[in-house]
Structures are given as structure tokens and as C-alpha cells.
Structure 1
């Protein structure tokens, strides 16, 4: 996610919510959070509030004024919408009427009470939510709001229920866990609970950060991960404002040392493993991974390993049974003769049986593999990642290396993900830390040097080598190039 330069028009995020006079929650937090993404907030006020421990005063904005605000903000063509405090049913109906049909991503934070436990909405909040849910892409309830949202989503027409992020900030646990659900995907994000000077406005910051990430083109699942990263940093950088609390300090998500949350698959309420307790897979040694051919037959090892290639992957898709086992056994034997690191793609059981150096798994294969057994056997593990939530999941398993792709568009297989480019690869480099990073997808001899300069420890190639008129000469030239780069 690149910062927008002063010469570009930043994406706009419509923020609907209440004002709060100390600036620690509501629209003030929304605006700071959106601006941290170099996006422009369009604030629409639903209520003017004064919130302190002695009580809350709320002045609801009348329907005509609210309608005019919303129409004016929508005319500015926002790329995403964040909805916080909606103070009346008329306002909810106006939002549904004016936003419905625009096909904009909408993040709904279903707030009716503040973090001091005070009611901010006098109207029937269930009726308000019933009006708003059909236009929402994502709803972000806390523990107190979870059951009403679950009931309303259950009553929604088939396929009409929004995705949901159940926030876990109020739970009594050592780590903070937020659970995400959308059709076909459910995971829990967890990170350490942070004692901070600014603890109010966390729900506002989280939802506004999701909306800002959506405005910048992230998928919904990735936007949730980015928002979790942002709230973590905003809490750490919070500051005191009044005796009753402080404010968050949202900052650009990729500055400093960004860190991904832990990501575990599973249903809401399932106990995820304690963060930090996962045993790491063995490392790949001091030699850089370098040029990393991906081949479909063991015979390619005999052609490429004498050229100085030290890491190679056997990816066989058209064999099974005894023929596949023979191919793996042959590849293991050849790799050992050249002291090369052989990773077997997908077929982890055969890699174990024949003593391969390591296994490479795609995201779809992680659940079916016996990762503890692979660890006990001392095999290395590489994991494919194509987006941020997949990267968070991969790093949770502490693999030997992470693969990032596609860096460029590729014809070797159909991929639904947009290319990462060199900027995306550099971002992965920030997030994986010292763990080796392998770049894959559309990389040829013209692009290899730039990919290495962006931070790749290994460059996976398929057609650039196997489709070359002289694969051995191509491999030797690439090995020489990489030796110069890593010297």
C-alpha cells in the first residue's frame, strides 16, 4: 500500500458518525485513521455528543440536515464508507436509500453505547440495524453487540448477510482475538493485549481502517488484517488527553516495523494456540536460496544442478501411485549427490518416506498436511502466499521460507490474485523478517535482478528455464548473476 503523493488525488472515505468533544472517539478517530492511509475523510455528523464519566449529552442531527450532509458527501464519490453511530431511524433509512445500489464497500460499526457504558441512541437500535445491514459489506460488533448481529444476519435473505468481524477487545484473555467470517472463509486474528494511554475509540479506528484499506483496493480479508495491524500500532502510540482517557495515534500502516497478527483457521469460540508457542521449522542454512527452478520431472535435476543451482522444487501434477513415488525417490537421490535442497511440492508423505530436504505447500494443502510430523522429521517447509491474510497464516506456522507471488502476471497456471509487483514484494520483505523470501510468477532473465534487489532471497522460475532453448546456459548465467548480487 503506497503512500499517495501530493500530486495524486487520494481516495475518499465517507465517515458517518457522531462528534465527540475531546476527540478521542467517534468521527475524530475515524478521520485520523483514514488520513493515516493517505486517504481523505468525508465526515457526516449524526449527533453532537459530550461524553464523560458523569454522563453523556447527545444532540441528534435532524433528518433534513443529515440528508443534505449525506448527499453532499456522496457527490464527492467516496471509494468506501464507514458507518459508526447512527442516532435515529430516519438517519438509518436515509443511508439505506442513498447508499443502496451504489455498490460501494460499507463497514458498519454497530455502536449504540460508548466505552464508558453510556447509551448514545434513544431510538430502537434493532430497527436501525435492520435498516442498515442490507447495505453493509462488513459489520464489526464487540462482545455486547455480537448476539443481536448474529440474530439479524441469521434472518437475512440467502446470500444477503454481510461478512462479520467479531471484536475481542473486551474479552478476558491475555491476547486480543478478533474473529472474521465471510462465505467460504473464517479465521481468527490474535495479538498481544496492549495496556495503552489511549483505549477509547478502538472500534472506530478498526472499522475506519478497514474502510480505508478497502478504498485503496485491498480485498475484504486483507483489509481486516491491515486494520488489525493499524490498531495494534495506534494503541502502542496512544497518548493521554483527559483524566478519563486518552486517544489513539493511527499512523501509516507500512512505516516503521509493521507486524502481522497471528492467523488461525477455525470457528468462533475455538481456542487458538497461544501465540508464540509454535515451534519453528528448521532454517535453510547460510547459503542463499538463489535461482530456484520448479520442475515436473527428476530428470531436470540432472540437467540443472550441475550448473550451480542449489535449490530446486519437484512439482509433479500428472503422476500417481508407484510412478509418482519413483519420481520423488529419484529426485531425492540426485539432489543428495549434488548437496542441493530439494523441496517436494504438495506430496508431503512421499517427501517424508523418501527423506527429501523439504516440502512446499500451497494454502489449500496446509490443512491436510501433518505439520507436527514434518517438524519432528526435520523437514524444511515452504509456504505459498498470494495476499496478506495468507501471509499472516503462513507466518503463524513459522515456515523455513515464504513464497510471494505472483510478482508478475504468469501463464504457468491460472491465478485469481493480482500481481504483487516489486512494491508488493518489498512489502513482503518487511513482514517476513529474517526468514527467506522466494519470489515467483512471471519472472524471467530480464526481471530476475530487479526481483533480487527488491529483497528476494530466492527466485522461483518455471518456463524461463524449462522453456529456454538452452536451459543449462540460462541456468549458469542466472547463477553467476545471483552470486554477484549476494556477494
Structure 2
């Protein structure tokens, strides 16, 4: 795996921002940072005393050396001190994009140089950024001040934030992250916004948390952009990079200390592992969503705090597609089963779910119905399992009022934190491995991520699903996850009774 990330940025002699912050943040996320230095600043905790721009010849020599031996998967760009640097970097990036076997992802953090007259306020600088660099940028990460300088849009509310982001997209960027540390709206809260046009959907993400009252915040912008770059280098989707970067900054602000007489740097710690450091995913119907005037769909029925499962350890969790397999699993003592059926008529579905609920009661087992929450309510099922896309259309209030348990699928950190808004009965993480049962392109989580999901969501029963068979079940169980869901490991085995017995033996072993 290519975990090489370049940072093309200025040096901070005080060690709090610039390439010094970039390297520390990248190291925290397990990638190797390489540098091409654009400026040597003379600064300390009290401020910037001088900015010494590096000549374009010297910058080019750094880039040529790196390109010949250490091609980057992601390139993060920070301070560019003048128009000549912008033009040079743009020429090199265009070459990389056209000629490298795997074109690098470009993350641009447009640093406003406040000490020598704001560089972004110079008309020729903004013009060079807009015309030369922006068409090559994949993700731009300005703060509110830099956003206003670049776009001319004053960020007086959420709609203005979206307008500014759309302006940046129109200049060529594929995604925009607007860092809200300087935007006190709502009062006392920090709100960050991301729009992602990597996909055709144009997905939007809003994150929010109470402002962390620390004066020592030097380098937060550089560090947040560098974490996003590091996560993208590790093939995390942008929404996960966004939420992890925010959690990392929150964690660092809480642990920041002063080293000089002025403003200290944000602390560089490690991969965020404390749920309290993660921001809230802001959705319509939530308190922050209302504060930001989000439109609430007419059919929207928000609910949270669903009925708990009897145990946090659900054990072997069989996912089956027929009453025949449901019966076989229950007969062998499996206590948690999900009925996942497709391509049936309404009459057939009604009968299947009725039978499934009756079988669950007969065997004192917990049978979850996938997707069909109306029928699960009608037949008083134990619970229902929904995907993330169902959250916007299912009547969650009706599910909760009926006393049904709710299980939610999650694919990554952002969806996990979104699911946490609803306080479901359990949370499923997947796909852990590639699977043939559904297309999970770009959503394979792997064991390393599972090891991070489980402690973050330790207040819930947790389920791992996706491509898990007998050979993999033990290593999955060793992560501490409370349940392992299997599909083909039972239904496609030569001897399903032996397979169930072996899986139960592996999964029920105490973690070593």
C-alpha cells in the first residue's frame, strides 16, 4: 500500500503549524510524510516576524527529487507565498495528474498569510489560485476567513456556506471542506461543512460540537487538512476522513498546552479513540439541524433510544433468506437470526414474516426482519434491521412505539456516528471482508477499522458482518465485537450442522 503523502507548505519555526504540524498529524494516522518547503517563516507563539519565500528553483528541485523516487498517493498543499509559486506548483500537479500511473489526490489548504498583508486579498493571487490551481484540486479545506477572502461570500448563515462551497466547486474542486472554528453559529458551537462531488450525488455533511475553550489552537487548520490527506491515502472515504480529522482536532484542543508566551499549538496525539471527541453528525430534525434551519421532510419521523437487546453479546448471528434456513438455524440453537428476503410479492412477504416471528417465539430466539418494518410492526417481531438509506424513509417513531429493537448497518466512521444519533438497539459494522452477497465496492472495512469501531461504540451490542467464514471468524471475534454475522458460511457449507457448531465454538470463546 502506498502510504506516502507529500506536504508542499511553509515551515513554522515555532513548530505549531505548517509542515511541522503536517508531519505530526500524518504520523498520527500511520502515513509517511514527505516535504517540499515553500517558505521559511520566522515565528514563535507570539506571531509571525518574517516570511521568507523559497525560490521556485529550490522548490522545483525538491519536487523533482521526490517524484523520481517517492511518488505520493496524496499531496497536501499549504502556504504558497506568491503567484510564481502557485504557477509552478500547478504545472507540476498537472504533470503528475497526466503522467503518473496512479494520479495523486490533491488536498489544498489555502493559508492566508496575515502578517504581511493577507496574501489572499491580493487580486493576482486569487486569480492565480482560481485559474491555475483550483482545476487540479480534489479537496479544498479553507476556514471561514479564507473562504470569504477567496469567494467574496460573507458567511452569515448555512445557505451562505453552501453558496461559497458551490463557488469553489465551480472553479474545479471536487470537494470542499469549510472549517468552522471561526464561525460562531449557533453561538457556542463549532460547525463544519463538507460537500463531496466525487460521487454524482453531491453529498453534503454537516458536523457540530460545542466549542472547546482552549486558547492554544495554533495549527488546527494545517493539522485538519493533513489528517484528511492521510485518511485519503489510506483509502478512507472523504466523509470518514472529515469526521476523523474533526475528532483529532477536538482531541488535540483538549490536550493543548502553551510552550511560549503566546498561543500554543494544538496537541498531536494519536488516532481518536474517545467518543466524546467526535462531533455530532447534524441531520434534519435534530436540535442543531433546527438551529441551522435545515428543511425537515414532511414524512420525517425522528426517534432515538430504541428498546435494548437482552445482552450486549449477541453471539453467532445468522442472516438467512428463507423460512427453511431460519428453521434450520433455530433448531441448532442459534439465538439471533435475521430474515433477509427479496423479490417477493406483498402477500408472500406478509406470510414469510408472520412465520418468522412465530418461529422466533417458538425457539425463544431473537428474529430481526430486514427492511420490512411495517410488516415487522404488524406481526410484532422482536426487531427490525435497517440500512443507512432507510433512516430517511422509515417511520422510526412507529418502530420505537411498537417496542421493536432496531439494528442499523454502518459502513465507516461517519455512518457509525450518524447511527449513534438514533441510539439503536445494536450496531452492525461491515463489510469486514469482500462478499459476493452484495456489492460493497469502496466499503470494505477490514479488521484494523473494526478494532477501532468496537471500543468507540462499546455502549452498544456490536455486530461484524461481511465475508466472514469459519477461517476468519476467530480473528473477527478477537477484536472484542459482541457478535459475528454470517450468511454463506452456513447456507453454502457442505454440512451446515457442523458449520454452525464450529462457528459457535469459535465465536463464543473468550477473547484471548
TM-score relative to the length of structure 1: 0.88
Q: Deviations over 1:267-306 (max 9, x none)?
A: 9x982689xx984222211262111111122343332213
185, 191, 212: which is aligned to 1:177?
A: 191
Q: Is the 8 Å Cα contact of residues 406 and 417 (structure 1) preserved in structure 2?
A: no
Q: Deviations over 1:244-268 (max 9, x none)?
A: 200112122156778543223579x
Partner of 1:44: 36
Number of residues of Structure 1 aligned to a counterpart in Structure 2: 474
Q: State the shift of 1:310 in Å.
A: 0.9
CA 1:335–1:46: 2 relative to 1, 3 Å: same
Q: Distance in 2 between matches of 1:17 and 1:482?
A: 49
Q: Deviations over 1:335-364 (max 9, x none)?
A: 122221111111112112221111111122
Q: State the shift of 1:43 in Å.
A: 2.6
91, 94, 103: which is aligned to 2:88?
A: 94
Q: Is the 8 Å Cα contact of residues 258 and 431 (structure 1) preserved in structure 2?
A: no
Q: Deviations over 1:227-254 (max 9, x none)?
A: 1221122212211022220011212215
TM-score relative to the length of structure 2: 0.84
CA 1:174–1:279: 2 relative to 1, 3 Å: farther
Alignment of 1:18-417 (within 5 A): 18-50=10-42, 56-75=49-68, 76-102=70-96, 103-114=103-114, 119-120=118-119, 123-124=122-123, 125-130=125-130, 131-147=132-148, 148-149=150-151, 154=167, 160-172=172-184, 173-183=187-197, 184=201, 185-253=203-271, 260-265=278-283, 271=289, 279-286=304-311, 288-417=313-442
CA 1:446–1:63: 2 relative to 1, 3 Å: closer
3-state SS in 2 of match to 1:100:
helix
Q: Is the 8 Å Cα contact of residues 251 and 272 (structure 2) preserved in structure 1?
A: no
Q: How big is the alpha-carbon RMSD for the aligned residues of Structure 1 and Structure 2?
A: 3.1
Q: Distance in 2 between matches of 1:475 and 1:10?
A: 39
Q: Is the 8 Å Cα contact of residues 308 and 479 (structure 1) preserved in structure 2?
A: no
Q: Deviations over 1:111-161 (max 9, x none)?
A: 2244x8962557433113212211211011222233434568548669x43
Q: State the shift of 1:169 in Å.
A: 0.9
Q: State the shift of 1:174 in Å.
A: 3.0
CA 1:310–1:151: 2 relative to 1, 3 Å: closer
Q: Distance in 2 between matches of 1:256 and 1:293?
A: 31
3-state SS in 2 of match to 1:204:
helix
Q: Which moved more, 1:144-153 or 1:407-416?
A: 144-153
Q: State the shift of 1:168 in Å.
A: 1.2
Q: Is the 8 Å Cα contact of residues 120 and 126 (structure 2) preserved in structure 1?
A: no
Q: State the shift of 1:308 in Å.
A: 1.2
Q: Is the 8 Å Cα contact of residues 440 and 461 (structure 1) preserved in structure 2?
A: yes
Partner of 2:100: none
Q: State the shift of 1:445 in Å.
A: 2.7
Q: Distance in 2 between matches of 1:482 and 1:20?
A: 51
Q: Is the 8 Å Cα contact of residues 31 and 41 (structure 1) preserved in structure 2?
A: yes
Q: Is the 8 Å Cα contact of residues 214 and 256 (structure 2) preserved in structure 1?
A: yes
Partner of 1:5: none
Q: Distance in 1 between matches of 2:468 and 2:121?
A: 59
Q: State the shift of 1:331 in Å.
A: 0.9
CA 1:252–1:295: 2 relative to 1, 3 Å: same
CA 1:430–1:475: 2 relative to 1, 3 Å: same
Q: Distance in 1 between matches of 2:440 and 2:324?
A: 27
Q: Is the 8 Å Cα contact of residues 56 and 118 (structure 1) preserved in structure 2?
A: no
Q: Is the 8 Å Cα contact of residues 312 and 461 (structure 2) preserved in structure 1?
A: no
CA 1:478–1:112: 2 relative to 1, 3 Å: closer
3-state SS in 2 of match to 1:212:
helix
